[in-house]
């Protein structure tokens, strides 16, 4: 009877040893998986940071190019506005010259007309309080 009791105790000891060893192996495996997972997460995080840096650099380069294009456009626009202003001033000056020339021509035509009117063609000057006489 002593032997059968020894064998179950020995079996239990072996079973407990096996459970401890298996638990330790699982603990080691889970720690290795955790380390691998953290390493992959760190690598992914580093890749994300690198990608974000790349995007920031591209955005900055794009913004600088856009700013340069905006400045170039503004410079051209201001030059065009200046040309337009000068053209409007020249057009206004020409209109003033033409108006002055038109006045000069009209003044001369009127002076000639008045100069060459015969006295008989002129009506006698009648004061406004007297009615005109029929001729």
| Tens digit of each residue's pLDDT (9 = 90 or more) over 20-30 | 999 999 999 99
* pLDDT band at residue 4 using 50, 70 and 90 as cut-offs: low
Q: Taking 70 as the threshold, does the pLDDT of residue 1 lie above it?
A: no
pLDDT at 104: 84
pLDDT at 135: 59
Q: What is the pLDDT of residues 40-88, one digit of tens each?
A: 888 888 898 999 999 999 999 999 999 999 999 999 999 999 999 999 9
pLDDT at 126: 67
Which pair of tokens denotes residue 68?
């340069």
pLDDT at 69: 96
pLDDT at 2: 43
* pLDDT band at residue 6 using 50, 70 and 90 as cut-offs: low
Angle at alpha carbon of residue 48, lines to 47 and 51, rounded to 5°: 85
Task: Tell me the pLDDT of the chain averaged across its residues.
Answer: 85
The owner of tokens 């992959």 is 40
Cut 0.75: pTM above it: no
């Amino acid at each position: 009877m002593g032997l059968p009791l020894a064998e179950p105790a020995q079996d239990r000891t072996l079973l407990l040893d096996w459970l401890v060893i298996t638990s330790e192996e699982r603990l080691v495996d889970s720690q290795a998986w955790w380390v691998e997972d953290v390493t992959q997460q760190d690598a992914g995080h580093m890749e994300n940071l690198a990608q974000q840096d790349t995007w920031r650099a591209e955005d900055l380069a794009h913004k600088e190019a856009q700013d340069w294009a905006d400045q170039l456009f503004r410079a051209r626009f201001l030059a065009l506005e200046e040309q337009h202003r000068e053209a409007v001033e020249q057009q206004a000056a020409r209109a003033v010259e033409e108006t002055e020339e038109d006045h000069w021509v009209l003044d001369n035509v009127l002076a000639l007309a008045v100069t060459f009117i015969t006295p008989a063609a002129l009506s006698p000057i009648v004061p406004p309080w007297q009615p005109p006489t029929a001729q």
